[in-house]
Amino acid sequence: MQVSKNKMSVLQLTILTTVNMMGSGIIMLPTKLVEVGTISILSWIVTAIGSMALAYAFSKCGMYSYCSDGMGGYAEYTFGKSGNFMANYTYGISLLIANVASAISAVGYGAELLGTNLTPLDICIATIAVLWICTVANFGGAHITGQISSITVWGVIIPSYGDFHYWLVLVQS
């Protein structure tokens, strides 16, 4: 059996999943909830249980469904082609919104880092540029995307570690 060089490795898939979970805000919970106090640990527990429940549900769907089309295939198995369409359509819309939000955040952080004031038109143009740069980076295939994720994950982990350490110090005092 011939293995394609364009596929992602298990490590790259794990990193990509980690980056997606971090991007969804779970990693930033300590910083957001530090003002609440020690009760914010409950939010970590609830979030962890919710994440595990979603992962469990998808793993069960994968075990019981012979369809290899992911969420759309799982929905099609039960609800037919309209279920497949709705699952994939809503997932596509959520990705569109999330990608634009991430690009706007990147532009905002970049403007702050560089100490520049951008007009709304500048922000729009820079956001479109960030989206296109990310799109072009994905033209190389899944393997290239995995390599990029392996590097960029540290941009999330390093600042988050400092925030988590700060949160632990505050909770202990």
Q: Is the pLDDT higher at 52 or at 96?
A: 96
pLDDT at 27 over 80: no
- Residues 87, 71: contact at Cβ < 8 Å? yes
Structure confidence at residue 1 (pLDDT): 46
d(CA 159, CA 81) in angstroms, rounded, equals 44
Name the residue type at position 78: T
Mean pLDDT of 12-24: 63
Burial label for 100, CB within 10 Å (0-12, 13-18, 19+), is middle
**Prediction pTM value:** 0.60
pLDDT at 125: 96
Higher pLDDT, 81 or 155: 81
Read off the pLDDT of residues 86-109 as tens digits, 9 standing for 90 and up. Answer: 988 988 898 888 888 888 888 888
Is pLDDT of 34 > 70? no
> Residue 122, by phi and psi: left (phi above 0), alpha (psi -120 to 50) or beta?
alpha
CB 165 within 8 A of CB 31: no
What are the helix (H) ranges across 34-69?
A: 41-64
165 three-class SS: helix
User: Mean pLDDT, to the nearest integer, of 43-52?
Assistant: 74
- How far apart are alpha carbons 69 and 72 in whole angstroms? 6
More confident site: 121 or 12: 121
* Tokens 């290899």 belong to residue: 68
The pLDDT assigned to 46 comes to 80
Q: What is the pLDDT of residue 33?
A: 63
Q: State how far the alpha carbon of 105 is from the alpha carbons of 47, 54, 82, 123, in Å.
A: 23, 26, 34, 10
